[in-house]
Amino acid sequence: MDNHTITIYDVAREAGVSMATVSRVVNGNPNVKPTTRKKVLDVIDRLDYRPNAVARGLASKKTTTVGVIIPDVTNLYFSSLARGIDDIATMYKYNIILANSDENEQKEVQVLNTLLAKQVDGLIYMGHTITDELRAEFSRAKTPIVLAGTVDPDEQVGSVNIDYKSATEESVSELIAEGHTRIAFVSGPLSEPINGEHRLEGYKQALKNAKLEYDPSLLIESKYTHKVGGKVYKTIKEANATAVFVSDDELAAGILNAAQDDGLKIPEDFAIITANNSKITEMVRPQLSTIVQPLYDIGAVAMRLLTKLMNKEEIDEKTIILPYQIAKRGTTKEED
């Protein structure tokens, strides 16, 4: 028994047809007589033939693989998006090459390049911010790209998000409606458009609507980890805030815990509203009130959009905004 990998050629020989015909049946091309199709299929089955996707990719210039750049799989916000992406990808027969970037510009560029070298048919990027270098690479690439849960003022590529500004505005307004006047705003770096533009605008708008004064000392930039919650809480306290809008759930949980450790009653003494509705929000006590983002759907819709792009279908709108809701749970008072 010779031990070479069995190829389309072997199948062709055994079935007494040409490679082209085998290729046709493998690819479901209708131009093949049912009897020959069956004959070929039988041989394929007997020889346990498995088409080599790499060869296929070279010949067809399609890899049925898309690259996914993610800051950190371990982050529930992004992994939820990733899950939506993968499910739809699978549905459309694509596979995902997943690469963690840690929001590191160098890594991102680096990873983008290896992904392109691997001839991915499309690319989904997740992150908090898009650097100029990355943006330059994006526009240079011929490969379709979609941003998921990531905003870019320069709308060259497709993207799927919610309306962060109005979601933030609405959240902060809830806090105001409950009687809070000093509301802290905790986010990642304000240099990132999603924070410094969308969310902050929403925050300011809510204050303005309520004729409250805007106080920059209530703005806090922070990392998104549970651990720093204590430090952030201290800052909030020093600013005499009685409520806080937080743009990350893990961080919000950290703040919540710190506040309770400090003896505060939530939501009586201190209110919190967070932004992602990742499952963490329901695992802490009291449960976090939050903007309900359709995380899975953002990923799913992004991937769906990408399939259209890869397929060169006509797109009506490549900047997609999905609806959101606000869930009032235990860290804000009931309204009525």
Partner DNA sequence: ACCCACAATGCAAGCGTTTTATTTTATTTT
Partner DNA sequence: AAAATAAAATAAAACGCTTGCATTGTGGGT
Please give the residue ranges that form the binding site for DNA (CB under 7 A). 4-5, 7-9, 16-21, 23-24, 26-27, 30-33, 35-37, 49-52, 55-56, 58-61
How far apart are CB 34 and its own copies at their closest, in Å? 25
Cα–Cα distance for residue pair 234/221, rounded to 1 Å: 13
**Cβ 215 to DNA, closest distance in Å?**
57
* Residue 222, amino acid: S
Phi, psi torsion values for 32, nearest 5 degrees: -150, 135
Closest to its own copies by CB, 181 vs 296, is: 296
Interface residues toward its own copies, by CB under 8 A: 50-55, 57-58, 63, 65, 68, 72-74, 76, 79-80, 82-83, 86-87, 90, 95-100, 113-119, 226, 250, 253-254, 257, 260, 279-280, 282-285
Residue nearer to DNA on the CB measure, 52 or 209: 52
* 177 vs 116: CA distance, rounded Å: 50
Judged by beta carbon distances under 5 to 8 A according to partner kind, the member of its own copies, DNA, none in contact with residue 211 is none
* Between 59 and 336, CB nearer to its own copies: 59
The secondary structure of residue 194, as a DSSP letter, is I
Q: Measuring CA to CA, which residue among 125, 79, 20, 117 is closest to residue 276?
A: 79
Residue (3 or 74) nearer to DNA, CB:
3
Comparing CA positions, the residue from 316, 209, 197, 296 lying closest to residue 247 is 197
Smaller CB separation from its own copies, 40 or 183: 40
The interface partner of residue 83, options being its own copies, DNA, none and the CB cut-off 5 to 8 Å by kind, is its own copies
Burial 25-41 (b: 16+ CB within 10 A, else e): bbeeeeebeeebbebbe
Tell me which of DNA, its own copies, none is bound by residue 161, counting a contact when its beta carbon lies within the kind-specific cut-off of 5 to 8 angstroms: none
Q: Is residue 274 a contact partner of residue 243, using CB atoms and an 8 Å limit?
A: no
Give min distance, CB of 118 to DNA, in A. 12
Residues 6+ apart with CB under 8 A from 211: none
